[in-house]
Amino acid sequence: MLACGGVISLVREVMDNKVRNGFAIVRPPGHHAGPTHPGGFCLFNNVAIAAKYVQNTYGSKRILIFDWDIHHGNGVQTSFYNDPDVLYISAHRHDNGFYPNDKGDATYVGDSDAKGKNINIPWETRKVGTPEYMHLFFQLVMPVATEFCPDLVLGTVKYIPASELYSG
């Protein structure tokens, strides 16, 4: 609850123009928890709850959530799969049943009016490092984000040891 409250406090400060930006260091990130259930050691989906708070309190129309945790943020995806006002981009391992490995492939693009607002980048290898992430960021994330023109950008990231990135 403290982690979730901390993220909400931070976005409130940003939305009230008290700070220009911020970085909430909270554990667990919460991106596996769905709107109605916990998942993957996550009780609350901090980013999803903060995004909903901003939508409900500030009437923000466009929120970008960029998730570059090694795991797919299936709870964030579920929370906004039908919401055309939230662009969710997730870069994650997806090979050989890597957790959670459900609905994290590139065919899950959003539904109804939100089609195209869910972008999964499923890495099919463990050999992903700085060059791949830089390419992804400059060739996909930034152009799509620029076109979407969000009112607020939220993200989740998990420290990934180099041994996990570069080992075979």
Catalytic residue numbers?
A: 32
SS3 (DSSP) at 96: helix
Distance CA 46, CA 31 (A): 7
Give the closest residue to 28 by CA, choosing from 50, 45, 49, 5: 45
**Residue 94 to residue 78: CA distance in whole angstroms:** 17
How many angstroms separate the Cα of 11 from the Cα of each of 1, 2, 64, 114, 150?
Answer: 16, 14, 13, 24, 14
CA distance 134 to 36: 35
Whether the link from the prior residue into 122 is cis, omega within 30° of 0, is no
Q: Which secondary structure element, helix H or strand E, spans residue 86, and what is its range?
A: strand 86-93
